[in-house]
A and B are shown apart, each in its own frame.
Chain A
Amino acid sequence: MSGDLAVQVRGLRKAFEDVVAVDGLDLEVGTGEIMGLVGPDGAGKTTTLRMLCGILLPDAGEVRVAGHDAVRDPEEVKARIGYVPQRFSLHRDLTVNENIAYLADLYTVPPGTWTARREELLEITQMAPFRDRLAAALSGGMRQKLSLICALIHRPQVLLLDEPTTGVDPLSRRDFWQILYDLPRQGVTMLLCTPYMDEAARCNRVAFLHQGQILRQDTPAALRESIHSRIFEVRCRPQHLAREMLKRLPLVEGVEVFGDRLHVTLRPEAAPAEAWRALREAGVGELAPREVEPSLEDVFVAMGGEVENRKSEVGNGEDGESGGTGVSPILPSGEPPPPRTGETPVPPGGK
C-alpha cells in the first residue's frame, strides 16, 4: 500500500444483527489531508470511525491507518491516532490538567516529554487559565477543546473527529477550527464527521456516506459544480403562500426559507421566467430574483433527492448495488447507538 496514504479502507463491512451499518466502504485519505465525512443520520459515519480507531472489529474489509492494519494490529493504530468522540467522555471529576495527565499516561507518553506538549496545547486552545478547573464545570465549548487537547497529547499522525462541534456555540466553533486548521501543517491527517456543511467546505475532500456506502467523494468545489439545478433567491409577500405555490410547480425542485427570503431550486431544464410569472399570477409578487451559487448544503440535499429517485426507479429490493432497502435517505438505517463503553478516547491497551 502506498506510503502517502494515512487512511486506506477497502470493502469495509459491519452489521449489527440484521442491520447493515457499513456496506462495502472504500476510502483513501492522503497524509496531511482534511477529509470530511458527511451523510444523513444513521448513514454509518460513527461506525466507520470506530472501526478506523480499532475499537470495533469489522465483519469484512481491509483497514490501514497510519501505516498499520487496524484489524491485526489495533494497538499499533491506537498509538498513532487521536479520537475526539461525539459525546464528552473524559472524567468529569478530574481537572483539566489531571485529565491530560491521565490520557498521556494511558498513551504511555514518557512523563518528561508531554508536559511541554501540554503547555503548548493549553496555550493555543486558550485553556491555560482553566487548567485546575474540574471538567464537570467547563462549558460545552471548553469541554470539546479539552477533548481535542487529550487527543493530541501523544502527537498522533491521524486525528479522527466525530461531530466535534455539535452543541458548541459559533464563537467556540471558530476557535476550535482555528486549532484544527493548523494541524495539517504539522503533518496531521484528519478525518472528520460533521453535520455542518460550512465545516465540510473547509475540508480538502468530502465524502458523502449513505446506507454504509460512499456515494461520491470530491473536493468541495467540484461537488458544488456538480449541481446542475439553478438556485435563485427571491423575496415574496406573503412568504408562506409563495412557498406553497412554488412547491407545487413541476419546474421547482425545492424551496427553502432563509429568513425573509426564499431559495428556489429550479430543475436544470426549467426557464426561470416561468416560475416568476407564476408567482406574479398567484399575486404573491416577487422581488428581484437573484441567482446564487449552490452551497455544499445544496449538494447534500440534492444527493438525498438523487438517492430517492434511483430508489423509485429500481424498485424495492431489486438494486443490489445500493442495498435497495427501500429506506428513504433521511430514514434511520437502524444503526444502533454505539455502546457507551466504546466512547473512551481509545488509549492503547497494552504496554
Chain B
Amino acid sequence: MALAVEVSNLVKRFGDFTAVDGISFSVSKGEVFGFLGPNGAGKSTTIRMLCGLLLPTSGEARIAEHDIYRETELIRRSIGYMPQFFSLYPDLTVRENIEFYAGMYEVPRARARERVEELSGRLGLEGLLDRMTRTLSTGWRQRAALATALVHQPPLAFLDEPTSGVDPVTRRQFWEFIDDLAREGTTVFVTTHVMDEAEHCTRLVIMHDGAIIAEGTPEEMRTRYVQNMVEVQAAPLWEALEALQASPLVREAALFGDALHVQLREEVVDPAEAVRQALGEAGVAVEAAECIPPTMEDVFVALARGGEEAVREASP
C-alpha cells in the first residue's frame, strides 16, 4: 500500500536536549493516524519536521513521497497543517483568512471562492464568513483554522490538537468531518489529549520522551498493554481512592468520571476480589467492583507512567 508518511530513525536535538530520539513509523494513504503522547514528548517537534518547517538532526523521512531535506517546497504544497495555537489573522474575516491561505498555496481565485463555499458549508461556517476572526469563540476559530489548512485540498493533513478547548457537540462534529475526509481519500495525521477521540483513529502511536513506546490499532492498544483493570463504585469515593493507592497490590488508581479505575499488579489473580478486600479492610463501603477492559485513557496513563519509571530507573 502506498505510504503517505515514511519515517526512519528521525532525530532532533536542540543543544544537549534530544527532543526526538530516533523514531520510525509509517502512515498509509487514507489512514486517520493518531499521534499521542504526554506534553513535552516531542510530538509537535516531530510534526514540524514532517511539515518541512524544521530540519532534522539526522534520520530520513518522506512525506507524500517527497524527501524531507531536499523537497520541503513540494512537501508544503502537498500538506495541510493546522497548528496547535491559533494560526489565523484576528483582524481579517473568516473568508479573508481562508482566501489568504488559498493565495499562499496558489489556488486560482475562482477555485478559492468555490472552496470557501464548500468548506464553510461542511464546517457550518456559512453565517460567519464575514465576521472578524477575533470575535469568534474557540470552537469556531478551530473550524476556521481547519478550513484554512484544507483550502488547497491537500492529500495529507496534519492536525495538531484540533479539538483543544471545544465543547462536546463541536468535538463530535469535528470527528465526523475527519472521518469523512479520510473516506474521501485524505490522509489525516492528528494529535489529541482526549482519549475517546483516539478511538476514531485507524492506527495510533504513543510517544514518550522522544521515543515511540507503543503502536497499534485502538483495539490492539486496549488489549495488548494493560491487564487487571477494575472499575469501582464506592462511598466515600476519596476514601476508597486513598485506600487503593496505599495498597501494595495496586499499580494505579484514579478517578474516572464518578467512579475509580484501578489497575492491579500482574500477579493478582482475582482483581475485583482483591479490590473488595482492600476496601473492606479500610472500612470503605463498596457499591460495585468489576473487571473491565481498559479504556484508552487507562492504556495511555499506564504506558506513560511506565515510560517515566523506565526513565527514572535509567537516570543515575
Number of interface residues of B (CB under 8 A): 50
Contact A40 B167 (CB under 8 A): yes
Number of A-B pairs, beta carbon distance below 8 Å: 131
Contact B38 A330 (CB under 8 A): no
Which of A141, A166, A337 contacts B38, CB < 8 Å? A141
Q: Nearest Cβ in chain B — how far from A89, in angstroms? A: 15
Contact B169 A304 (CB under 8 A): yes
Contacts of A221 in B (CB 8 A): 258
Does A163 make an interface contact (CB < 8 A)?
Answer: yes
Does A333 make an interface contact (CB < 8 A)?
Answer: yes
Which of B40, B84, B254, B300 contacts A178, CB < 8 Å? B254
Contact A41 B219 (CB under 8 A): no
Contacts of B288 in A (CB 8 A): none
Q: In the bound complex, what is the Cα–Cα distance between A140 and B84 (angstroms)?
A: 12
Q: Mark A285-303, 1 if CB is under 8 A from B, else 0.
A: 0000000000111001100
Does A334 make an interface contact (CB < 8 A)?
Answer: yes
Does A251 make an interface contact (CB < 8 A)?
Answer: no
Does A321 make an interface contact (CB < 8 A)?
Answer: no
Q: In the bound complex, what is the Cα–Cα distance between A140 and B44 (angstroms)?
A: 13
Does A259 make an interface contact (CB < 8 A)?
Answer: yes
Q: Given A185-B238, A195-B167, A259-B218, check contact A169 B39 (CB 8 Å).
A: yes
Q: In the bound complex, what is the Cα–Cα distance between A171 and B38 (angstroms)?
A: 7
Contact B257 A300 (CB under 8 A): no
Q: Nearest Cβ in chain B — how far from A185, in angstroms? A: 7
**Which applies to chain B's interface (DSSP): helix, strand, loop or mixed?**
helix
Contacts of A39 in B (CB 8 A): 167
Contact B166 A41 (CB under 8 A): yes
Q: Nearest Cβ in chain A — how far from B296, in angstroms? A: 9
Q: In the bound complex, what is the Cα–Cα distance between A256 and B134 (angstroms)?
A: 31
Which of A172, A220, A259, A335 contacts B258, CB < 8 Å? A220
Q: Nearest Cβ in chain A — how far from B281, in angstroms? A: 21
Interface residues of A in 315-351 (CB under 8 A from B): 329-337
Does B99 make an interface contact (CB < 8 A)?
Answer: no
Q: Nearest Cβ in chain A — how far from B92, in angstroms? A: 15
Does B107 make an interface contact (CB < 8 A)?
Answer: no
Q: Given A181-B238, A257-B200, check contact A301 B257 (CB 8 Å).
A: no
**A-to-B contact residues, CB < 8 Å:** 38-42, 86, 139-142, 163, 166-174, 177-178, 181-182, 185, 195-198, 201-202, 220-221, 240, 256-260, 295-297, 300-301, 304, 329-337
Known: A170-B193, A202-B255. 5 other contacts (CB 8 A): A40-B139, A41-B166, A177-B255, A257-B175, A259-B200
18 A-B contacts (beta carbon < 8 Å): A40-B169, A40-B170, A42-B137, A140-B39, A163-B165, A167-B84, A169-B300, A170-B301, A172-B39, A173-B193, A178-B255, A195-B167, A198-B257, A257-B176, A259-B200, A300-B168, A330-B169, A337-B134
**B-to-A contact residues, CB < 8 Å:** 37-40, 84, 124, 127-128, 134-140, 161, 164-173, 175-176, 179, 183, 193-196, 199-200, 218-219, 238, 241, 254-258, 297, 300-301, 304-305
